Structure 1
């Protein structure tokens, strides 16, 4: 992945990059997870101040996680974990002040270009009712299964997005 990838003028951050996560990043990512997920978890009656952070700590895998840096500052995280049948996209959290301005789409396009190059499908899950589901649908993810809490989505290699986005 390229360092200092440029975004369109007028978006939240003019330059962004992905850097490999380090063990020391876990607390910043855990805190961001708590902030980002709180509204959806509260809506579902599942928010627990300790558990929301501990689940990230328990599943944190620096070798598969990238830190999103925007305009030189910590902006979020994303993990792309290899699985037997493709990859799992996990821990994709973006600072709320940067959401809805194109940065998440730019990061997602970069990751999906990489998985498309390798011909691997990508799976993820989002909480029921999360606005993030619309972002994923725009990038070619479709609902595979769901339960009262989670929506499991799949994107096959090269799946087109509804907005014709390309890497």
Structure 2
């Protein structure tokens, strides 16, 4: 429960791809335009090409689609991907609550978490508040992506 808003996470299905792709386009548009990288078709297609329902959870508020988050296991960490909250719900605390839940599960397993955020994105402040710092930029071939990483937090401690 966040404030007065009740939210839940449910497993995603292939049928969620269009709603997630549309939300991605809306949420990323200001940052992509600022960086000169917005492309109406590409922003949606990149999501469709990489959508993995088995790693994705849909955020619902009052039973309605409100966002999504994916946690993709990799060899030495989990990658937090496709974390989007509907614009009218941003700032309500839902994003922080979802992030705490997801990170708590990773902490319990002792798994580091990595993510990529667009340079200059306000989302970076959210991630920093939850213990993310600058990660290795190896393999990042463009000037718009920033890799962030969070080491697991031992039980009973906050980042």
TM range (shorter): over 0.9
State the TM-score, normalized to the length of structure 1. Answer: 0.88
* Residue 145 of structure 1, CA deviation: 3.9
- RMSD over aligned CA atoms reads 1.7
CA distance in 2: counterparts of 1:115 and 1:39, whole angstroms: 30
Q: 1:140 touches 1:159 (CA, 8 Å); kept in 2?
A: no
- Is 1:85 matched up with 2:80? no
Q: Distance in 2 between matches of 1:94 and 1:129?
A: 18
Is the aligned partner of 1:29 residue 2:17? no
Q: Taking structure 1 as reference, are residues 130 and 159 closer, same or farther at Cα in structure 2, changes over 3 Å only?
A: farther
- Post-superposition CA distance 1:45-94 (Å, at most 9, x none): 00000000000000000000000001221000100000000100000010
Alpha-carbon distance between aligned partners in 2 of 1:145 and 1:99, rounded to the nearest angstrom = 28
TM-score (norm 2): 0.92
Name the structure 2 match of 1:43. Answer: 34
Match of 2:89 among 83, 86, 98: 98
Runs of 4+ in 1 over 4 A off after TM superposition: none
Structure 1's unaligned 5+ residue stretches are 1-5
Distance 2:75 2:109 in 1: 14
Aligned partner (choices 116, 119, 125) of residue 107 of structure 2: 116
- What is the match of residue 68 of structure 1? 59
Shift of 1:101: 1.4
Task: Check the 8 A contact 1:16/1:68 in 2, yes or no.
Answer: yes
Question: After superposition, what is the alpha-carbon deviation per residue over 1:100-120, rounded to whole angstroms, capped at 9, x for unaligned?
Answer: 110000000000000000000
**How far off its partner does 1:97 sit?**
0.4
The alpha carbon displacement at 1:159 in A equals 7.3
Once residues 155 and 117 of structure 1 are traced to their aligned partners in structure 2, the CA distance between those partners, rounded to angstroms, is 14
> Structure 2: 5+ residue runs without aligned partners?
none
